[in-house]
Structure 1
Amino acid sequence: MTRPMHRRLLTLALASALSLPALAQTALAPFTVSDIRIDGLQRIGAGTVFTYLPVERGDTLDQGKAAEALRALYKTGFFEDVRLDRQGGILVISVVERPAINKLTLSGNKDLKTEDLTKGLKDIGLAEGETYNPLNLDRVTQELTRQYNNRGKYGVQISPSVERLDRNRINLTINVKEGKAAKIRHINLIGNERYEEEDITKGWESHTSNWMSWYKRDDQYSREKLSGDIEKLNSWYLDRGFVDFSLDSTQVAISGDRKDMFITAGMTEGEAYNFADISVSGDTVLPKSEVETIVSFIRPGNVFSRGLLEMATNAITARLSNIGYAFARVNPVPSIDRDKRTVAVDFQVQPGPRVNVRRIVFKGNTRTADPVLRREMRQFEGSWYSQAAIDRGKVRLDRLGYFEEVSVDSEPVAGTDDQVDVVYTVKETTSGSISAGVGYSQLSGLNLSLQLQENNFLGTGNRVSTAITRSDYQKRYDFSYVNPYFTDDGMSLGYNLWWREFDYSSFNVASYSTNSGSFQVFMGLPLSESDSISLMVGLDSNEILAFEGSTPQPLVDYVNAVGQRTFHSWRAQVSWGRDTRNNYFTPVVGGTQSLSAEVALPGSTVEYFKLQYDISKYWPLHPALVVKTALNLGYGDSYGKEYNRNICFTAPTLVDTNNDGKGDTWVPGPVGTDPCLATSPDYVKSVQASGLPFFENFYAGGIASSGRVRGFMDNTLGPVYTSSFGYRQPLGGSVLLAGSVEAIFPKLFDSPSARVSAFLDVGNVYNGWDNFDAGELRASAGVALLWRSPMGPLSISYALPLRKKDGDQIERLQFNFGGQL
């Protein structure tokens, strides 16, 4: 007997042996079923089994009917084994249930998120509480292996393990050893005669190893990335006029150890073509001349480009979608003349029905009230569909700062082709903070506080902040309230009320204290989607506590010149702001500008003004790289009356304080102002109060000041006063200049709540324009992390001073709550 014949007989014998149990179960003599009993059930109810069972009381059970019953019960997936027996007229069904999944655990998976995998497993029946089917586990193993292979991880190992428990339960664990992704060792293009390979592949996501691969991971092979790159190759040539370009072959080879990939693409370039006539046809809705103007940037004689065709198509579609034609289609139909190597294009417009927005629906806003979102909309219910207005609504929601993510979809209304519902789906995030207890600031140390700050108070969109803070250096009581929609047209109204007892020496500035209070009212009015103006008026009272010997003498002289230590002022501020950012905390495009003028009005103790201009701009250079540039300018001075006084001193006297008959303590003599209280002063000093008051100065240095130069201690740059003991006290200045360039890496973390940047800061403050010196600018470079923590935004930076001078106070590691990168 030959070996192949022997194998066939063995196979038939095995198949017959495996079929005997099933035949034995169905080999029942026909009988009429008087009753049905099910044995072996533990979790599954008998009623559930009867639902699937094709046999009822009174039926005649023969071999065919029994086989049908067995197939139906096995098909449910509930049972490992099913047997049919007979006891008189009773049909006895004996079953062995499959175990239930008590716990499902995934371990070792990094590239594929656990929540995504869990959802996929549930779709095929592998979830906690479900019935365990080994066939599903095999499917999962194969599917996970395929997904990891698509990501270039060919060494992945999927090891499921099953732990048997009591009561017919199991714990299922899927262990994943991802291994390392295969690296692209070589990319070879064949047939590119007109362009260098480096130019063609410059915009690809797949590259051989380079100095940025540690971040971009562009040297890791992925089937999805390569598919996108092949499409970019096709677009590269079609955008340069090569209409006849063809990709002849794509080959991907892997090394024997599955660690290296080799990519080869063969192509035929063909000849370059130019545009010929450009025309518009179809139901253009708008005047045909207007549509022709939209595509007028494509001129006959220019090199053909598929990218230009897409731009023109999108421009027409966008114009029509903004007047209600949400489903407008534009088909560019080319006519190729291969003899002349030209392409004539006819843009055929199919507007479709004009669409009305029936409803605007919000999902995911469990805390924020619908009206708060609805007032940000520029698309209205019952009006014609406008894509620009819908997109603008999304941007405005992103900029509120209440949401981590915002998405928008248009859903057609069933039964009609001219209505849609616009659905905005939001994912809420922390919009404020509540804290009580012990706090710590790197700048000012330990403090006890009770603080509430909420930018979306009770979901109303109103901003409320109240704080009570006590420590060795301050007592502070603050309350602030802003209603950003005091009127329906967007006018805001707010109030500030505060009292502070402050020791500024704890904040790296001059040694003096203040007892100050203020009440302010402010309002804002939008000028456009991105521009607004605001007005603030307020009454301030500021008691300056300056002390001879500890407070810098220029500050003491200023207070003496005024002749009183309590400064009262009526203040007014007018400001203009522009905000075009796409996101409040983590923008990647747009920017901000603000220009403000603050004046202490006539009648104030000291009359002064302050001007400040801040601008920032985000430049998206790549999905993985955004550059931010920023500039801060400030200037202040006094106007109107000035204070000039003569301070009169008498000589100190030696006083006997211990009553031993000998002088032991020098006591300063009387001090007065002109006209001198002392009849015969021993010394007269002229003092003057002019320029911006020292308690309104700008400060630079650190992570939190208006002149941010990280790497230097907060507020320590600029003019300083050095005492006779060598103690340096920063004074601030009336002129501020600071700027920065920051490279932000938004994709370094998968989480949208964290981002990293590398920065270069430059800045300083000066005492008046006459003392401005570019040579005094300080500079630093470093890295920073912004994390939107549950307590609020946290900024951490590490910087190295690049330009410093002797006496500068260095602080490389700094952190601050609040702000953004």
Structure 2
Amino acid sequence: MPSPRRAHAIRPTLLCIALAAALQSGSAWAVEPFVLKDIRVEGLQRTDAGTVFASLPFRIGDTYNDDKGAAALRALFATGLFKDVRIDIDEGVVVVIVEERAVIAGIDFAGLKEFDKETLVKSLKDFGIGEGLPFDKALADRAEQELKRQYLTRSLYGAEVVTTVTPLERNRVNVIFTITEGTAAKIRELRIVGNKVFSEGTLKSLFDLNDGGWLNWYTKADRYSRSKLNADLETLRAYYLNRGYLEFNVDSTQVAISPDKQDITVTINVTEGQPYTVTAVKLEGDYLGKEEDFKTLVKIKPGEPYRAEAVTETTKEFSERFGTFGFAFARIEARPDIDRANGRVVLTLVADPSRRVYVRRINVAGNSRTRDEVIRREFRQFESSWYDGQKIKLSRDRVDRLGYFSDVNVDTAEVAGSQDQVDLTINIKEKPTGNLLVGAGFSSADKLSLTASIKQENVFGSGNYLGLEVNTSKSSRTLVLSTLDPYFTIDGISRAFDLFYRTTKPINSQGEQYQLVTPGVSVRFGVPFSEYDTVFFGIGAERTEIRGTNAMPNNLYLYRLQFGAISNSFPITVGWTRDERDSALVPNAGSYKRVNFDWTFAGDTRYLRTNLQYQHYWPITRQFTFAVNGEIGYGKGLAGRPYPVFKNFYGGGLGTVRAFDQGSLGPPDVTGAYIGGNRRLNLNSELYVPVPGAGNDRTLRVFGYFDIGNVWGESEKITADSLRASTGIGLSWISPVGPLKLSYGTPIRKRPNDRIERLQFQIGTAF
């Protein structure tokens, strides 16, 4: 009979006790050292045998002893793959007997509404709970607690999570988290106690959290969040510190929840202190011999109330100025010397430039789709050159202006073992770069007109643009295919191709049966002359045909009679833009300028067409923005030929003078058609304010507008009396498919025959 096996270990619940007893007693569990003849593994179902052998601290031919056996047990349990492990000895053969943990076949959620399932599955994998991983009850309990914590961040304090484990064949299990979300707890009362200088209503208006707003169904601002409350407290502190209350303090915050976990009361206790006036600003420390230069950067002056925002801005600009000289780790300390008796403070700015460094390496992180070169080519700071804070900031802004990312920041890290080197990491967060633009208008002439375009600004992560635009208006139908390579050359010269097909019917009350058909193609190049300025030039070829005869406007009839139904032209385009806006989607400051000239040198037409545009944005407060837009268009015939009527400017509607029907401004033809003109003027102004109840959310705002302008023909005189004007209100929303602008207005200067369109909206437009 074969000799019985000798057990060398027991189940994990008694493992530590057994090992200790074995080592101390040296009798019942002791094994005399011997030379290993063989190693066998039993009980494996799914785990590869190589995983077990790799964990063992002995091989065939080694001398086996108790210490090696204990080490083998610890190593095998540490893999997390086994519920039970033991080692038997059978005549010089070590037999490793394992009982595998069940493998998770799938994870599901029942009752899930608040979160996206894929997001939770991904987060649970960080806790070791995921498809294909060994199941561990302790990890499942931790995952359950994490799910509850996630619900607490959404003010769902009554959420319950129950974990159900269902065994399957082949030692597998399904894990189902059954969730009872309940209803979100809401802030029923938000109080500020201790304020005397400013009213509670004024202070609460600074908060993103609130205790009752009619837009809370959209903003969810009445859902308590500790992180949001901390942010609001910082806003409150900044409000006081920027008005001279240097010793303002938030003493405590109490958050109480009702027994049914539905109502929350937040009480904030503050001490305002007294206001302080700055009497002097001093510079101390090493300013590299450029004290006078740094003094020009000081934002706070003697005699003004102490403003923490100005002090922070000053220290930031000091740091950036040191950065332009290569001092990446300059330290600026603002030391206020307070005279409480007189309410005065002397501000001392102490500078320590530390050491000068250069950039060793620039890394890019977070780009799973966009190619590295698309980001790197926007950088003005180079590797192996001196650190320049101004160039790094400019580089970050250029990457941000690409529009491909929702967040861009640059981290600076010292190189280990080096005193004069740093590495830069560009951290980006990609966003969808496809854009769907939809526009619509209602009028008695066109009824419902639609425009649409599909654009991809970052095709295959290359940084190139591809767009398709369609317009289905009764009076103007368009099909345009466009491509843009912003780095056609390594120096940043861009190249754009446009292939288009347009049909146009000027608005006519009689119902016209004619149209202008214009197919064409063009190519343009853009040459950057500075970080903000680009000059464009290009050439195109287009063919315009006047089709039909019924009810044709007189100017088109005469033009076709004199020059024929078909006109070929080859326009040369020259233009310039300068974009200094702080944001392309939600600008709050800065300006945008554009000049464009079209000149035909060959073909059946000879003309010059000019368009000038200027926009400017002024931040009145953190929430209020005032913006203006001006545009001038002018066209003139050359070489003794008239200006072609099919190149006329049109006015009225979105982008020009709102509340007037699209394209209806200008002199009407004798047939009643609106034919546009060779001169156009638009002046638009808008005041943006936050939507009541939306707090500081800049993606949803209301605005009031005032527009003035018109279109004039060649024989008309431009007078102030001929201008049309309108005013109204609107809603601006950065929607998931693009910026939406909805406006409702009324004309305040009009003529009896003008067409009115009070309600207009468009997705994908600014002005």
CA offsets per residue over residues 141-163 of structure 1, 9 Å max, x none? 22332343344331122222222
AA aligned to 2:198 is: Y
1:111 positional shift = 5.6
Corresponding residue to 2:647 among 696, 701, 704 = 696
For 2:729 and 2:343, locate their aligned partners in 1 and report how far apart those are by CA, in whole Å: 54
Corresponding residue to 2:676 among 722, 732, 737 = 732
User: Any idea what SS the aligned residue of 1:170 has?
Assistant: strand
Pair 81,382 (structure 1): closer, same or farther in 2 beyond 3 Å: closer
For 2:92 and 2:523, locate their aligned partners in 1 and report how far apart those are by CA, in whole Å: 92
For 1:19 and 1:363, locate their aligned partners in 2 and report how far apart those are by CA, in whole Å: 45
Does the CA contact (< 8 Å) of 1:181 and 1:221 recur in 2? no
Pair 760,612 (structure 1): closer, same or farther in 2 beyond 3 Å: farther
| Aligned residue runs from structure 1 range 321-336, under 5 A | 321-336=323-338
1:512 positional shift = 3.4
Does the CA contact (< 8 Å) of 2:486 and 2:493 recur in 1? yes
AA aligned to 1:417 is: Q
Structure-2 residue corresponding to 1:676: none
Structure-2 residue corresponding to 1:614: 613
For 2:472 and 2:208, locate their aligned partners in 1 and report how far apart those are by CA, in whole Å: 55
Corresponding residue to 2:346 among 344, 347, 352 = 344
Does the CA contact (< 8 Å) of 1:356 and 1:384 recur in 2? yes
For 1:367 and 1:811, locate their aligned partners in 2 and report how far apart those are by CA, in whole Å: 43
| Aligned residue runs from structure 1 range 759-770, under 5 A | 762=707, 765-768=710-713, 769-770=717-718
User: Any idea what SS the aligned residue of 2:385 has?
Assistant: coil
Corresponding residue to 1:418 among 417, 420, 424 = 420
For 1:501 and 1:304, locate their aligned partners in 2 and report how far apart those are by CA, in whole Å: 61
1:236 positional shift = 4.2
Pair 75,137 (structure 1): closer, same or farther in 2 beyond 3 Å: same
For 2:364 and 2:495, locate their aligned partners in 1 and report how far apart those are by CA, in whole Å: 27
1:298 positional shift = 3.3
Structure-1 residue corresponding to 2:384: 382
1:261 positional shift = 1.7
RMSD of aligned alpha carbons: 5.1
Structure-1 residue corresponding to 2:551: 550
1:331 positional shift = 1.7
Pair 232,756 (structure 1): closer, same or farther in 2 beyond 3 Å: closer
Does the CA contact (< 8 Å) of 2:506 and 2:675 recur in 1? no
Alignment of 1:257 with 2:281, yes or no, is: no
For 2:478 and 2:341, locate their aligned partners in 1 and report how far apart those are by CA, in whole Å: 83
Does the CA contact (< 8 Å) of 2:704 and 2:727 recur in 1? yes
Structure-2 residue corresponding to 1:318: 320
AA aligned to 2:575 is: S
Pair 622,70 (structure 1): closer, same or farther in 2 beyond 3 Å: farther
Corresponding residue to 1:136 among 139, 148, 170 = 139
User: Any idea what SS the aligned residue of 2:151 has?
Assistant: helix
Alignment of 1:31 with 2:31, yes or no, is: yes
Structure-2 residue corresponding to 1:8: none
For 2:95 and 2:116, locate their aligned partners in 1 and report how far apart those are by CA, in whole Å: 47
AA aligned to 2:260 is: D
**What count of residue pairs does the alignment treat as equivalent?**
726
Structure-1 residue corresponding to 2:9: none
Alignment of 1:631 with 2:580, yes or no, is: no
Pair 410,744 (structure 1): closer, same or farther in 2 beyond 3 Å: farther
1:362 positional shift = 3.9
Does the CA contact (< 8 Å) of 1:700 and 1:763 recur in 2? no
Does the CA contact (< 8 Å) of 2:665 and 2:711 recur in 1? no
1:593 positional shift = 2.5
| Aligned residue runs from structure 1 range 169-188, under 5 A | 169-188=172-191
CA offsets per residue over residues 177-207 of structure 1, 9 Å max, x none? 4433322222333333333323333322332
Pair 322,161 (structure 1): closer, same or farther in 2 beyond 3 Å: farther
Corresponding residue to 2:45 among 24, 42, 46 = 42
Q: Name which one, 1 or 2, has greater alpha-carbon Rg.
A: 1
AA aligned to 1:553 is: N
Range with greater deviation from structure 2 (260-269 or 633-642): 633-642
Pair 160,779 (structure 1): closer, same or farther in 2 beyond 3 Å: farther
Structure-2 residue corresponding to 1:126: 129
| Aligned residue runs from structure 1 range 131-280, under 5 A | 131-280=134-283
User: Any idea what SS the aligned residue of 1:290 has?
Assistant: helix
Pair 240,477 (structure 1): closer, same or farther in 2 beyond 3 Å: closer
Does the CA contact (< 8 Å) of 1:721 and 1:730 recur in 2? yes
For 1:389 and 1:316, locate their aligned partners in 2 and report how far apart those are by CA, in whole Å: 15
For 1:537 and 1:22, locate their aligned partners in 2 and report how far apart those are by CA, in whole Å: 84
Alignment of 1:294 with 2:294, yes or no, is: no
For 1:483 and 1:21, locate their aligned partners in 2 and report how far apart those are by CA, in whole Å: 67
1:31 positional shift = 3.2
For 2:470 and 2:242, locate their aligned partners in 1 and report how far apart those are by CA, in whole Å: 63
Query: Which ranges of structure 2 fall in alignment gaps of 5 or more residues?
Result: 1-11, 23-27
Pair 24,350 (structure 1): closer, same or farther in 2 beyond 3 Å: closer
Pair 315,722 (structure 1): closer, same or farther in 2 beyond 3 Å: same
Range with greater deviation from structure 2 (196-205 or 253-262): 196-205
For 2:591 and 2:656, locate their aligned partners in 1 and report how far apart those are by CA, in whole Å: 18
For 1:148 and 1:82, locate their aligned partners in 2 and report how far apart those are by CA, in whole Å: 39
Corresponding residue to 2:306 among 304, 317, 326 = 304
Does the CA contact (< 8 Å) of 1:444 and 1:506 recur in 2? no
Does the CA contact (< 8 Å) of 1:511 and 1:729 recur in 2? no
AA aligned to 1:697 is: N
Structure-1 residue corresponding to 2:401: 399
Range with greater deviation from structure 2 (375-384 or 21-30): 21-30
Pair 244,507 (structure 1): closer, same or farther in 2 beyond 3 Å: same
1:718 positional shift = 5.1
Pair 141,220 (structure 1): closer, same or farther in 2 beyond 3 Å: same
For 1:342 and 1:460, locate their aligned partners in 2 and report how far apart those are by CA, in whole Å: 57
Pair 717,68 (structure 1): closer, same or farther in 2 beyond 3 Å: same
1:320 positional shift = 0.7
Structure-2 residue corresponding to 1:6: none
| Aligned residue runs from structure 1 range 763-802, under 5 A | 765-768=710-713, 769-770=717-718, 776-777=724-725, 802=746
AA aligned to 1:633 is: E
Pair 336,809 (structure 1): closer, same or farther in 2 beyond 3 Å: closer
Pair 183,60 (structure 1): closer, same or farther in 2 beyond 3 Å: same
CA offsets per residue over residues 113-142 of structure 1, 9 Å max, x none? 655544442232112221111111212222
1:99 positional shift = 0.9
Pair 234,461 (structure 1): closer, same or farther in 2 beyond 3 Å: closer
User: Any idea what SS the aligned residue of 1:140 has?
Assistant: helix
Structure-2 residue corresponding to 1:409: 411
AA aligned to 1:384 is: W
User: Any idea what SS the aligned residue of 1:218 has?
Assistant: coil
For 2:412 and 2:277, locate their aligned partners in 1 and report how far apart those are by CA, in whole Å: 38
Alignment of 1:707 with 2:695, yes or no, is: no
Does the CA contact (< 8 Å) of 2:191 and 2:267 recur in 1? yes
| Aligned residue runs from structure 1 range 48-59, under 5 A | 48-49=51-52, 52=55, 58-59=63-64
Pair 193,425 (structure 1): closer, same or farther in 2 beyond 3 Å: closer
% same residue? 32
> Which fold has the larger relative contact order, with Cα–Cα distance below 8 Å and residues 6 or more apart in sequence?
2
CA offsets per residue over residues 556-587 of structure 1, 9 Å max, x none? 23444x46445466655543322124555666
Does the CA contact (< 8 Å) of 2:651 and 2:711 recur in 1? no
For 1:301 and 1:82, locate their aligned partners in 2 and report how far apart those are by CA, in whole Å: 79
| Aligned residue runs from structure 1 range 641-652, under 5 A | none
AA aligned to 2:579 is: D
AA aligned to 2:355 is: P
User: Any idea what SS the aligned residue of 1:136 has?
Assistant: helix
